[in-house]
Structure formats: C-alpha cells, structure tokens
C-alpha cells in the first residue's frame, strides 16, 4: 500500500533526480528506490556490527583455538 506524503528537497536534489530518472517514471519511484537501497545498507551495517561484537566477545577463545590448531602443524 502506498501512502502519499510531502517532503521538502533542495533544488539541487530535484535537478539530480530529474536528470537521472532513467527507467523510473516519476520522482517518487526514484526516491523510493533510493530509500530502499539506503535502508538495505543500514540493515547490513547493523548486522555486520552485531557480528563484529560477537567475534570480539569470543576473540580470546578463538585465538586460543587458532594457537592450538597451529601447534599441530609440522615445521620443516
């Protein structure tokens, strides 16, 4: 379901949108697609940050495991 809303944008942004509509028919479609990309990037960044937090919490354990595995390698 689409909801009609009103936003205020600078002339520069409107000019850029108008010059880059390509396959999109309307400014609304351009803005919606841009926002969907932005939202996807934000969600991906949040997931990555959560993954880094988990890895950091387990870093000592993971480093000990890596040291243990490396100790089994034969050096020639």
Q: What is the mean pLDDT of the chain?
A: 92
Tally the domains of the chain.
1
Decide if 5 is inside a domain: no
pLDDT along the chain (76 residues), means of 10: 95 96 92 97 97 92 90 74
Residue 53: inside a domain: yes
Range of the domain at 59: 25-71
Q: What is the pLDDT of residue 76?
A: 59
The answer to whether residue 50 is domain-embedded is yes
DSSP class per residue in 15-40: HHHHHT-TT--SHHHHHHHHHHHHHH
Q: With left for phi above 0 and alpha for psi between -120 and 50, is residue 22 left, alpha or beta? A: left
- Please give the model's pTM, rounded to 2 decimal places: 0.68
């Amino acid at each position: 379901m689409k909801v009609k809303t009103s936003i205020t944008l600078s002339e520069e942004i409107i000019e850029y949108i108008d010059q880059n509509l390509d396959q999109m028919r309307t400014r609304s479609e351009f803005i919606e697609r841009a926002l969907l990309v932005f939202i996807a990037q934000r969600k991906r960044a949040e997931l990555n940050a959560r993954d880094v937090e988990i890895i950091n919490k387990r870093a000592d354990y993971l480093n000990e495991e890596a040291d243990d595995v490396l100790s089994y390698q034969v050096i020639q």
